[in-house]
Amino acid sequence: MTTVIIDEKTKAGKTLIEYLRHSKHAVIVENENIPNETTLKAMDEVEEGKVTTYKSTKELMASLKGKAGV
């Protein structure tokens, strides 16, 4: 078995994938990078505006040190 990576964003890539789909000698395996549950939850929180912002790096570091007990 051989793995071939095809850039499906190009016209040539799309044409090649379509050709391979009709071939009885090839199997197309879609590479779907599906985020895990934790990442999906974090993405939802960002979209809902549940984020913490800081005015400066100094403020961010102070907050992180406080949470770490340093």
Spatial neighbors of 62 by CB under 8 A, at least 6 apart, are none
- For residue 62, what pLDDT is reported? 94
The pLDDT of residue 60: 95
Residue 44 has pLDDT above 90, yes or no: yes
Domain ranges in the chain are 1-32, 34-70
Q: Highest mean pLDDT: which of 3-7, 31-35, 56-60?
A: 56-60
- What CA–CA distance (Å, rounded) separates 61 from 59? 6
Q: At 46, which amino acid appears? A: V
Burial (CB count within 10 angstroms: exposed 0-12, middle 13-18, buried 19+), residue 17: middle
CA dihedral 3, 6, 33, 46 (to 10 degrees): 160
pLDDT for residue 64: 94
With a cut of 90, say whether residue 50 has pLDDT above it: yes
Given this model, what pLDDT does residue 3 score?
83
